[in-house]
Amino acid sequence: MAEKLDGEIVNADAFQLYRGLEIVSAAPSEEEFAQAPHHLYGVLEATESADAQRYVNLAQPVIAEIQTRGKTPIITGGSGLYLKFLTHGAAPLPTADAALRAEMDARPLEDLVAELQRLDPLEAARTALQNRRFVSRALEICLLSGRKASDLRDQWEAKTAGISSQLRGLVIQRSRADLHARIAQRTRAMLDGGALEEVAALPDVSANCEKAIGFREIRALLAGEIGRATCAELINAATRQYAKRQETWFRREKWLVPNPA
């Protein structure tokens, strides 16, 4: 399979700190992946904010361009949500509104829950009401669209129901021991490979970029708040947790084939 794919990698990450040291979490073969061109153009600057639609807008021209050269774009995760936007498209929902969001952030969660339950009881019942983000997003959809979030969601789910059967993809699953060893190796490579300099040189970054794993930890290291060993361990732990969340997400995507021969 590997030798048949003349591929180029498009990564589903909005920000690529540590350029050239991307996670190799899915690839036809490790050698091929390492040799394939990684598409870093179209990537957001650290000061820019990101969202799933923005990622799709950046990735699609890159994918099209690879295809015009007769090559296979290999889309890798990254974020399961971003990949799903790419494969299934965006639902016709209102885009986040900064002012409304700031207003909601200032309100107590119970307040948001109560309003959502009043405006759209069905969506409230489907939402994890302890999760502030999910509650405020659902409420935001209702307020901005003037419609019920549950209706819009149902429409979109009905419309995209058949898409998965037309997709092809694979998931590389590793044993936890192997995965954790590779994560530790990657962290080492990052710290030794210029990540400190890269973070030190970054300006005030966007809230999205600030959350990239390693960013805060390296800032703390540079500020002398933690030592290098602690920094590495914190990055390792955060990456392990992220990898586990990726596994959970992709396990649910039934069209993805785990560990094909």
Rule CB under 7 A: say whether 33 interacts with RNA. Answer: no
- Contacts to RNA from residues 50-89, by CB under 7 A: 50-53, 77-82, 84-85, 88-89
Rule CB under 7 A: say whether 38 interacts with RNA. Answer: no
Rule CB under 7 A: say whether 90 interacts with RNA. Answer: yes
Task: State the minimum distance, in angstroms, from the CB of residue 100 to RNA.
Answer: 10
DSSP 95: P
How many Cβ atoms from other residues are within 10 Å of residue 180's Cβ?
Answer: 16
Amino acid at 46: A
Structural tokens at position 193? 């490979």
Residue in the block written with tokens 């091929």: 32
Measured CA distances, 82 to 119, 237, 247 (Å)? 28, 23, 15
Rule CB under 7 A: say whether 189 interacts with RNA. Answer: no
Q: Pick the closer one to RNA by CB: 3 or 229.
A: 229
For the chain, strand residue ranges (E) read 7-11, 72-76, 169-171, 256-258
Q: Pick the closer one to RNA by CB: 6 or 178.
A: 178
Cα–Cα distance measured from residue 109 to residue 216, given in angstroms and rounded to the nearest whole number: 27
Site residues for RNA per CB under 7 A: 13-18, 22-23, 50-53, 77-82, 84-85, 88-93, 95-96, 101, 104-105, 128, 130-134, 136-137, 141, 153, 156, 160, 176, 207-208, 211-214, 237-238, 240-242, 244-249, 251-252
